[in-house]
Amino acid sequence: MAVNDLSFPLLPPPPALGAPLPGAERHPDFLRLLAERRSTPALTLRAPGPDAQTLSAILRIAARVPDHGKLSPWRFVAMGPVAKARIAGQLGPFCADCGLEPAKAEAALAKFQVPPCSVAVVFRPVIPHKIPVWEQELSTGAVCFNMLLAAYACGFGGNWLTEWFSYDARARAAFGLTDHERLAGVIHLGTVSDRPPERERPNLDDLVTILD
């Protein structure tokens, strides 16, 4: 993978089990990140991507999510350009009958190869288990979004895409998935080349109920 700014500070070591953590503190920089973050279209993500050290920090943060039952119902497949070209080559023959116009399916594979680094988030539900699969899915979604946040805080753009191959059972093998695993999506990472414009956001007046 491409080498990025090696001056990027290391994360502090993971807190020891049971170590007291900060309760709640004001983090104005973090609030601003949350208020202004947005996805960067995969087609505009350029090299360099995160280097190995930064990627490992991003993955460590991504995995630090609420997870009912501590099941870790997810895992990661981090892909650089060589792996992505190979996977796209394996998926190519499925474009003809994947349910999309072949040209659109091929365009999705071309887009998949543009960002310098991509992480497949693999959903691996624990079944049967008393924790409902729905909750395991929610935790996996949190992993994906936490990865976007971590990447952004490291200075990289990100784009969470599923595309047709996340729903094509034949595509699983190309990503190394087993039959009971699914792709929660591919998180594309790279350097932001064009600042993305703000998009329309939901009107919270329509969505929020406040009860005394």
Ligand X SMILES: Cc1cc2nc3c(=O)[nH]c(=O)nc-3n(C[C@H](O)[C@H](O)[C@H](O)COP(=O)(O)O)c2cc1C
Closest CB to ligand X among residues 78, 182? 182
Q: Which of 163, 168, 175, 183 binds ligand X (CB under 6 A)?
A: 163
The amino acid at 149: L
On whether the CB atoms of residues 115 and 190 are closer than 8 A, the answer is: yes
For 177-201, the DSSP string reads: --TT-EEEEEEEEEEESSPPPP---
d(CA 212, CA 206): 18
Residue 129 binds to ligand X (criterion: CB under 6 A): no
d(CA 160, CA 189): 9
On whether the CB atoms of residues 212 and 145 are closer than 8 A, the answer is: no
Closest CB to ligand X among residues 116, 185? 185
- From the list 5-13, 69-77, 156-164, 187-195, the region that binds ligand X by CB under 6 A is 156-164
d(CA 171, CA 51): 27
Q: Which of 2, 8, 11, 38 binds ligand X (CB under 6 A)?
A: 38
Q: Which of 112, 123, 160, 165 binds ligand X (CB under 6 A)?
A: 160
Residue 162 binds to ligand X (criterion: CB under 6 A): yes
Residues in the interface with ligand X (CB under 6 A) total 9
The amino acid at 172: R
Residue 115 binds to ligand X (criterion: CB under 6 A): no
Summarize as ranges the residues that interact with ligand X (CB under 6 A). 38-39, 159-163, 185, 199
